[in-house]
Structure 1
Amino acid sequence: MKLFRCRYIVPIRTDPIEDGALVIDQERIVAVGPAAELAARYPQADMVNLGDSILLPAFVNAHTHLELSDFPQWAAEVHSPEPEQAGFTSWLLRLIRVKIARRVNGEASKASWLNGLRQSIRSGTGVIADILSESGFYATVAEQLPGRCYIEVLGHDPVRVHLQWDNLDHCREHWPTSQWGAAPHAPYTLSDDLLEQSYRYTSCRHLPTTVHVAESHDEIEFMHQHRGPMVDQFYPFVGWTPFLDKPRHQRPLPCLEKAGALRPDTLLVHGVHLNRDEIATVAESGCSMVLCPRSNAKLQCGVAPVAEYLAAGVNLALGTDSLASNDSLSIWDEMAFARDWFQGELSCEQLLHMATVGGAKAMGFDDLGYLGAGSRATFQVLRAEQSPVRSQLTEHLCHSERTNEVSLVVIDGHIRYDRSIEEGA
């Protein structure tokens, strides 16, 4: 049993505690409260005095593609500079071209994934919803990923899609104690039939899913009006032109609804271009929505209607997406950017909730994202030269500078990052 004492404990579900303490026993939290009270109650606990620091839940990154973490280096190696002006489809084509030119294989993807995992944890993230398309390192993912791995399902070839389902069955059979799910990529990359089959498959196996929806203008134009750069550029490039003979003339969310995707264990991602009626449908379904503001900004996708999501009561979470469309995997950076990007429509309290409890709820974890008796011992510690006064604590926690102040990350009771050890090495 250990007792962590510090200047502030931020439980999230209850008010911050000054001169607080956290008691853990193996992977669970036993108690949270005033340090003097817990020290007297648990005299047998080993005390870890963290001094003038802040202890709060490790963040939940509810949408990542960690296997793309080395994309900036790959692009530099094949001399593919980032264009100054590029829409979503142009970005998507560049992503594919770089991977082809760089000849990215399983080993490169594994190294990239591990790099992204390290970056995530050292920036205070302790729970990750990761989408994986490569199949060569499932054992590594099962052993090291704190959170859930969603196996990507993508394409118009039924044989390939069925193989991806087989890969997911393989993972569940060989690593049953790990968390697995399916990631039907998006309505614009799966036919109606394969999308519906994917959700029948996951429903029968009681598997959670995550899916991109209404991310860009290009997607809306393709799905609803059957025109635009996806028709003219993307589908011909990937050899899918024969599948253009069946226009849907339907927006993305109704396609998902028709396929049976709108259920409480579905994690929707982006949702930049949903209208008010569609947002009401999302709220009624019980789906959560992951917002990725920095990725949306970089790909010029637009600003998600966050005020309407809040008004409808949709559970919101935060995700960084990948380093192919973002500059870091830090949720601290994402919160700071979101505060300005949404022009004050999200308070610091709401952003912290999205980064913790909201993300955990979105992934179906009811014992993560907060600090309380019985919850998992998954937390981070910030250590700076000087902590804020209590009245400014929440405001203090909405700045990207906090990324560099993460000194300790504990996941399920195990230290996964300790800056003092890293600096002393």
Structure 2
Amino acid sequence: MTTPVLRVDLVIEARWIVPVEPAEMVLENHAVVVNDGRIIDLLPQNDAATLYSARCHKRLDQHVLLPGLVNLHTHAAMSLLRGLADDLPLMDWLQQHVWPAEARHVSEQFVHDGTLLACAEMLRGGITCFNDMYFFPRAAADAALASGIRAAIGLITVDFPSNYATDADDYLAKGLAVRDQLLDEPLLSFCLAPHAPYTVSERNFARVLTLAEQIELPIHLHLHETVQELNDSVKRFGVRPIERLHRMGLLSPALIAVHTVHLDAHEIELLAQHGCSVAHCPSSNLKLASGIAPITELSAKGVNIGLGSDSAASNNRLDLFQEMRLAALLAKEQSGRADAINAHRVLHMATLGGARALGLDANIGSISVGKSADLCAVSMNDIALAPCYDPVSHLTYAVGREHVSEVWVAGRIRVEDGQLVEIDETGLIKLALLWQNKIRP
């Protein structure tokens, strides 16, 4: 008896498929079957040809297909400040240059346009989801939706006024209103985003914690980024920031701790015991001379780790292939062990680790039946990538974002043959130049 052929939206055949789940698996000559934006099958190509008829059939004979990358920490709109004030320590960079520029220029239009620019850059580099923290979150959300990328929109909170809000109560009220307006958008999720322990009071942290528990949102904040941050906390509060957060009850599986560069053994243990996640941002940490996060020790304790680019103002690229390579190499140097963090582990950080931190791992982060078809294809047909003995090794140590050929978000193609679909690159470059002329000192 002949098995009936099922009509589906998309079948992608690839030379290699790296599903991320199960761990360290590489499938050869397999196919991913997509219908209504979701993965419905993962099977050998010959079986796919027998069982499915596709409206769109993509053959990627010299490619690796992997889950879309998850950028666990960025300030997308700050792409308009790329290169504005380089080669400075963090606090000088913030206080003397970035914050004054933001005070002069940040508006709904700035955030919308800067986020559009960032979304285009991220999609071109295989990033299908980003976790944002910035002012005017509605403008960022609208830009993400227009770009067709998945986004976790941070509802920022700080104690000082800005062009967006007057005080912490105003920040939270406006942020929650945005969440209520956009709650039904399938490509959007939300995080509470208190900026850092040095910019948020205990009263306002308490409000954030209550809200996080009531509406079940992650809490996304900068933590233990610099030695100065730690010293200032000890002088002001008598304890280091992680201990302060611990006493306030903020350490939990909901916490996404960004940077965590300077940790002692007790602090690593606290993060592990409370199920916290870490957003590791190696390029930004190096550029601002903040240090190197101890991800080998964090990983050994079972802490969930994702990768972040930070902003284009402090990186200056929104490029997770660069972050994967740096994360692996720095872990080897810091630990003195070449096998400290292997290529598969780093790829997990860039995909499922980020998804898990955001509470999205049931939907994205791996190529698994039932999950959204957020996918990235990398072409290995390049002299710089030949020969290829191990595709996952290449993804970590050899591939660049220029090798990304196709990107799908929820089954919809966003990059095809290396070119953005439905995004006007020339128009975005002109828009960036207009902002450059406004911002230029």
Q: TM-score, normalised by structure 1?
A: 0.87
Is contact 1:58-1:369 (8 Å) kept? Answer: yes
Indicate the residue corresponding to 1:7 in structure 2.
15
Indicate the residue corresponding to 1:357 in structure 2.
352
Is contact 2:137-2:175 (8 Å) kept? Answer: no
Indicate the residue corresponding to 1:170 in structure 2.
177
Give 5+ residue unaligned stretches, structure 2: 1-7, 425-441
What is the 5 A alignment of 1:364-403?
364-365=359-360, 366-386=362-382, 391-399=389-397, 401-403=399-401
Indicate the residue corresponding to 1:242 in structure 2.
none
Indicate the residue corresponding to 1:78 in structure 2.
none
Q: Secondary structure at the match of 2:402?
A: helix
What is the 5 A alignment of 1:196-345?
196-224=206-234, 226=235, 247-342=236-331, 343=333, 344=338, 345=340
Is contact 2:226-2:291 (8 Å) kept? Answer: yes
State how far apart, in whole Å, the 2-side matches of 1:204 and 1:423 are.
39
State how far apart, in whole Å, the 2-side matches of 1:61 and 1:321 are.
9
State how far apart, in whole Å, the 2-side matches of 1:160 and 1:44 are.
53
Call closer, same or farther: CA 1:132–1:419 in 2, change over 3 Å: farther
Is contact 1:320-1:328 (8 Å) kept? Answer: yes
State how far apart, in whole Å, the 2-side matches of 1:36 and 1:260 are.
54
Is contact 1:64-1:129 (8 Å) kept? Answer: yes
1:206-240 superposed Cα distances (whole Å, 9 cap, x missing partner): 2221111101111001101x2xxxxxxxxxxxxxx
Corresponding letter in the other structure for 1:167: K
Indicate the residue corresponding to 1:118 in structure 2.
120
Is contact 1:298-1:326 (8 Å) kept? Answer: yes
Corresponding letter in the other structure for 1:191: S
1:90-139 superposed Cα distances (whole Å, 9 cap, x missing partner): 121121133345x3433122211110111011100011111121256255
1:291-322 superposed Cα distances (whole Å, 9 cap, x missing partner): 10111001111111112101211011100000
Is contact 2:156-2:175 (8 Å) kept? Answer: no
Is contact 1:192-1:255 (8 Å) kept? Answer: no
Is contact 1:58-1:127 (8 Å) kept? Answer: yes
Q: What is the CA RMSD across the aligned residues, in angstroms? A: 2.3
Question: Cα distance, 1:162 vs. partner?
Answer: 0.6
Q: TM-score, normalised by structure 2?
A: 0.84
Indicate the residue corresponding to 1:150 in structure 2.
154
Call closer, same or farther: CA 1:100–1:168 in 2, change over 3 Å: closer
State how far apart, in whole Å, the 1-side matches of 2:395 and 2:375 are.
15
Question: Cα distance, 1:191 vs. partner?
Answer: 1.4
What is the 5 A alignment of 1:128-139?
128-135=130-137, 137=139
State how far apart, in whole Å, the 1-side matches of 2:14 and 2:158 are.
47
State how far apart, in whole Å, the 1-side matches of 2:349 and 2:372 are.
18
Indicate the residue corresponding to 2:434 in structure 1.
none
Give 5+ residue unaligned stretches, structure 1: 76-80, 227-246
Q: Secondary structure at the match of 1:69?
A: helix
Corresponding letter in the other structure for 1:47: H
Is contact 1:323-1:329 (8 Å) kept? Answer: yes
1:411 pairs with 409, 412, 423, which one?
A: 409
Q: Secondary structure at the match of 2:167?
A: helix
Call closer, same or farther: CA 1:130–1:420 in 2, change over 3 Å: closer
Call closer, same or farther: CA 1:421–1:200 in 2, change over 3 Å: closer
Corresponding letter in the other structure for 1:7: R
State how far apart, in whole Å, the 2-side matches of 1:401 and 1:391 are.
13
Call closer, same or farther: CA 1:400–1:322 in 2, change over 3 Å: farther
Is contact 1:120-1:329 (8 Å) kept? Answer: yes
Percent of pairs with identical residues? 27
For the pair 1:96 / 2:99, whether they are aligned, the reply is yes
Q: Secondary structure at the match of 1:179?
A: strand
Call closer, same or farther: CA 1:128–1:44 in 2, change over 3 Å: closer
Is contact 1:188-1:219 (8 Å) kept? Answer: yes
